[in-house]
């Protein structure tokens, strides 16, 4: 099972790195399970298996995306490992697909960990802004990219060097309550971003509009989308704008009236 | 009127936004820290001779921001145009514009650039691949090049529109900022209900019937839990000893509890 040449391993890690860089930038395709599986198959000399594993995982995950920074099962790395296991063991594409699904779910956590570790970068960047140190800000920003690459390259490396036994071993070692706790935390953490944003906006002054936006999507999410809420928000903003304009216009008109009254007398 | 941005700087910002923009994505400011890094050369060009102003703007630009990466070009273009016209005076207006636009732009952008785009081009390529034809992979590569071109154009479209906005409304910043805040807060209220997706996974079996706690909460008020968690976080952030890093651990602990309610209650 561990018969994978050093050259092939290095090439696969390069594919992984390229995929991560693509994932968080222009998404040309290298980030997708389809590409990662196919390219892994190409490296290992069995492009057909790579195509089938990759395409199957791609179609499974079509509707899933990192909407708003949500973490999703890592079908990208799973496609690499699934293809590699399928090719090396000679058990065929279905075997690889079967292994890839639990791997994808298991690796979900690493994306959350990477995103959490970026808080360190964020605070360092904030400090460097105070000294206007561009070099250090750039390094911290790049460190974020590096942890992201590591979060995919490391499991692929371990998975390919130690084989599929490691996957079931890890699944057995990590208690289930940690996994479900991390999943719940992933769903809760966006609340923090929103709370921080509210600190920057005149939240208390315009609480009414916040409540309105919330109610529209909490009760009406079958009818409304965030775009509808934005249009309603625009309408409210326009109403507010006109009422300010009227307030300004009104006293001016009143004073003109007063003068006319005086002239009449 | 402050200094002007050269086309070269705008292009530089555009490419930085295209590739390494999201590297420092984090749960506190999301894309915000990266946004600050991306616009740094432009800030330097505009406020290079006034370090205090530059810091102030960089602090503001590094605040919470999150949208579809492809759409961020439009917002960034408009942002820079406003600052070029109005200087650091535009800070509140820029902040309000960014938070007002990112939500709806993400709504449109995620649908077009993530969901629809992927469902069309990647599924076609996948069907080719299932038949053992690798050349299908060229399809997303070609459309990807088109996306890069579109994103490049978006930067300058946002810039020209932002210029128009700035010159027409230069004397009306305060009311516009207020209105943008109203739009922003309405959208953020909606975000609470749509982005925080946790729901109670707790059921009690009483005889034949299964009682789902979440469905009871839903009849009382849907999305109550996300609202409570957001308001709780907001309240915590106002506490002296609380910062966003500590808040992560609070929410993590909360997640550990909420993710294991079934185990805790032994059902």
Separation in Å, CA B73 to CA A95, A162, B8, B69, B253: 43, 43, 15, 7, 36
Q: What is the pLDDT of residue A3?
A: 67
Specify if B75 maps to a domain: yes
Of the candidates B133, B182, B234, the beta carbon closest to that of A206 is on B182
Q: What is the pLDDT of residue B46?
A: 94
Residue A251: pLDDT band (50, 70, 90) is: low
**Residue B95 buriedness (CB in 10 A; 0-12 / 13-18 / 19+):** buried
Long-range contacts of B49-57 (CB under 8 A, 24+ apart): B51/A132, B53/B87, B53/B88, B54/A132, B55/A129, B55/A130, B55/A132, B56/B88, B56/B91, B57/B83, B57/B88, B57/B91
Is residue B49 within 8 Å of B59, Cβ to Cβ? Answer: no
| Other CB atoms within 10 Å distance of the CB of residue B5 | 18
Same domain, B107 and B148: yes
Say if the Cβ atoms of A194 and B192 lie within 8 Å: yes
Single out the residue in B192, B224, B254 at which a domain terminates. Answer: B192
CA dist B246 and B30 (Å) reads 16
Of the candidates A123, A125, A230, the beta carbon closest to that of B245 is on A123
| Cβ within 8 Å of residue A132, ≥6 positions away | B51, B54, B55, B58
| Cβ within 8 Å of residue B237, ≥6 positions away | A195, A196, A199, B243, B244, B247
Of the candidates A67, A178, A216, the beta carbon closest to that of B190 is on A216
Same domain, B84 and B51: yes
* pLDDT score of A8 more than 80: yes
| Cβ within 8 Å of residue A222, ≥6 positions away | none
Separation in Å, CA A222 to CA A262, B66, B218: 61, 24, 14
Is residue B87 within 8 Å of B1, Cβ to Cβ? Answer: yes
Q: For an interface test with B, which of A34, A75, A97, A122 has the most B Cβ atoms less than 10 Å from its Cβ?
A: A122
Q: Which domain holds residue B22?
A: 7-192
| Other CB atoms within 10 Å distance of the CB of residue A59 | 17
Q: What is the pLDDT of residue B32?
A: 95
Whether ipTM > 0.95 holds is: no
Give the residue from B1, B176, B5, B13 showing the smallest Cα distance to B97: B176
Same domain, B135 and B235: no
Please, which residues bridge with residue B200 across strands?
A: none
Same domain, B223 and B124: no
Of residues B102 and A121, more confidence is placed in A121
Contacts of B52 in chain A (CB under 8 A): none
Same domain, B224 and B113: no
- B residues 13-72 lying closer than 8 A (beta carbon) to A: 18-30, 33-34, 36-37, 40, 44, 51, 54-55, 58-59, 62-64, 66, 69
Specify if B42 maps to a domain: yes
Specify if B2 maps to a domain: no
Chain-centroid distance of CA B172 in Å reads: 27
* pLDDT score of A27 more than 50: yes
Please, which residues bridge with residue B203 across strands?
A: B212
Q: What is the pLDDT of residue B264?
A: 84
- B residues 137-176 lying closer than 8 A (beta carbon) to A: 137, 140-141, 144-145, 147-148, 151, 175-176
Whether the pTM exceeds 0.80: the reply is no
Single out the residue in B192, B211, B239 at which a domain terminates. Answer: B192
Same domain, B48 and B176: yes
Say if the Cβ atoms of A119 and B28 lie within 8 Å: yes
Q: Closest-CA residue in chain A for B219? A: A219
Same domain, B141 and B69: yes
Same domain, B168 and B126: yes
Please tell me which of A228-242, A244-258, B190-204 the model is most confident about, judged by mean pLDDT.
A228-242
Specify if B213 maps to a domain: yes
Q: Provide the domain count of chain B.
A: 2
Stretch (H or E) spanning B209: strand B209-212
Is residue A254 within 8 Å of B134, Cβ to Cβ? Answer: no
Question: How many helices and strands (H and E) does chain A possess?
Answer: 11, 0
Contacts of B109 in chain A (CB under 8 A): none
Single out the residue in B144, B164, B192 at which a domain terminates. Answer: B192
Is residue A77 within 8 Å of A16, Cβ to Cβ? Answer: yes
Of residues A240 and A248, more confidence is placed in A240
| Residue carrying structure tokens 């399928």 | A86
Q: Closest-CA residue in chain A for B179? A: A237
Residue A151: pLDDT band (50, 70, 90) is: very high
Q: For an interface test with B, which of A138, A141, A244 has the most B Cβ atoms less than 10 Å from its Cβ?
A: A141
CA dist A185 and A187 (Å) reads 5
Q: What is the pLDDT of residue A2?
A: 45
Stretch (H or E) spanning B206: strand B203-206
Q: Closest-CA residue in chain A for B116? A: A63
Per residue of chain B (267 residues), give pLDDT as tens.
457 899 999 999 999 999 999 999 998 899 999 999 999 999 999 999 999 999 999 999 999 999 999 999 999 999 999 899 888 888 888 888 888 888 878 877 877 787 778 767 887 888 788 888 899 899 999 999 999 999 999 999 999 988 776 656 555 667 777 887 888 888 888 888 877 778 888 888 777 788 888 888 888 899 999 999 999 999 998 998 887 667 878 988 998 899 888 888 876
Of the candidates A28, A194, A225, the beta carbon closest to that of B141 is on A28
Q: Closest-CA residue in chain B for A135? A: B37
Specify if B244 maps to a domain: yes
Q: What is the pLDDT of residue B124?
A: 80
Please, which residues bridge with residue B206 across strands?
A: B209
Q: For an interface test with A, which of B104, B133, B185, B244 has the most A Cβ atoms less than 10 Å from its Cβ?
A: B185
Same domain, B129 and B215: no
Query: What are the residue ranges spanned by the domains of chain A?
Result: 6-201, 202-265
Residue A259: pLDDT band (50, 70, 90) is: very low
| Cβ within 8 Å of residue B229, ≥6 positions away | A188, A191, B196, B198, B251, B254
DSSP state, B68? -
Same domain, B59 and B161: yes
Q: What is the pLDDT of residue A256?
A: 45
């Amino acid at each position: 099972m561990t018969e994978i040449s050093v050259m092939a391993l290095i090439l696969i890690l390069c594919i992984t790195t390229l995929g991560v860089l693509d994932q968080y930038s222009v998404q040309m395709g290298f980030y997708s399970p389809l590409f990662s599986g196919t390219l892994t198959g190409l490296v290992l000399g069995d492009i057909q298996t790579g195509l089938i594993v990759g395409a199957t995982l791609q179609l499974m995950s079509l509707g899933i995306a990192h909407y708003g920074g949500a973490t999703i099962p890592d079908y990208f790395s799973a496609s690499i490992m699934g293809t590699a296991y399928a090719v090396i063991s000679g058990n065929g594409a279905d075997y690889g697909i079967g292994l890839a699904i639990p791997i994808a779910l298991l690796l979900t956590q690493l994306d959350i960990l990477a995103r959490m570790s970026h808080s360190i970068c964020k605070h360092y960047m904030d400090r460097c802004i105070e000294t206007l140190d561009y070099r250090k800000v750039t390094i911290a920003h790049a460190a974020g990219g590096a942890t992201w690459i590591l979060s995919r390259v490391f499991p692929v490396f371990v998975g390919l060097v130690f084989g599929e036994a490691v996957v079931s071993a890890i699944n057995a070692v990590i208690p289930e309550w940690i996994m479900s706790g991390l999943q719940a935390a992933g769903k809760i953490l966006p609340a923090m971003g929103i709370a921080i944003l509210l600190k920057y906006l005149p939240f208390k002054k315009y609480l009414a509009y916040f409540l309105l936006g919330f109610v529209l999507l909490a009760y009406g999410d079958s009818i409304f989308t965030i775009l509808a809420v934005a249009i309603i928000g625009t309408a409210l903003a326009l109403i507010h704008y006109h009422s300010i304009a009227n307030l300004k216009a009104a006293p001016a008109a009143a004073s003109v009236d007063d003068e006319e009254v005086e002239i009449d007398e | 009127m402050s200094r002007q941005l050269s086309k070269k700087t705008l292009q530089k910002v555009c490419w930085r936004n295209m590739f390494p923009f999201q590297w420092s994505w984090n749960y506190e400011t999301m894309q915000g820290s990266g946004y600050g890094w991306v616009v740094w050369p432009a800030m330097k060009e505009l406020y290079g001779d006034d370090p205090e102003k530059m810091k102030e703007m960089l602090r503001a630009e590094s605040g919470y921001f999150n949208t579809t990466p492809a759409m961020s070009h439009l917002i960034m273009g408009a942002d820079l145009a406003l600052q070029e016209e109005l200087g650091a005076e535009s800070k509140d207006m820029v902040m309000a514009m960014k938070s007002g636009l990112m939500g709806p732009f993400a709504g449109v952008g995620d649908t077009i650039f993530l969901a629809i785009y992927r469902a069309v081009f990647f599924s076609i390529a996948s069907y080719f691949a299932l038949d053992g034809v690798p050349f299908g992979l060229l399809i997303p590569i070609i459309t990807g090049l088109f996306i890069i071109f579109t994103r490049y154009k978006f930067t300058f479209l946002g810039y020209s529109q932002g210029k128009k906005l700035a010159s027409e409304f230069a004397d009306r910043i305060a009311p516009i900022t207020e209105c943008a805040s109203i739009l922003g807060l309405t959208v953020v209220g909606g975000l609470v209900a749509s982005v925080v997706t946790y729901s109670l996974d707790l059921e009690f079996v009483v005889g034949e019937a299964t009682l789902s706690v979440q469905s009871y909460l839903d009849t009382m008020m849907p999305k109550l839990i996300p609202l409570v968690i957001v308001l709780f976080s907001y309240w915590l952030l106002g506490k002296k000893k609380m910062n966003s890093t500590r808040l992560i651990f609070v929410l993590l602990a909360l997640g550990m509890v909420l993710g294991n309610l079934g185990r805790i209650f032994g059902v």
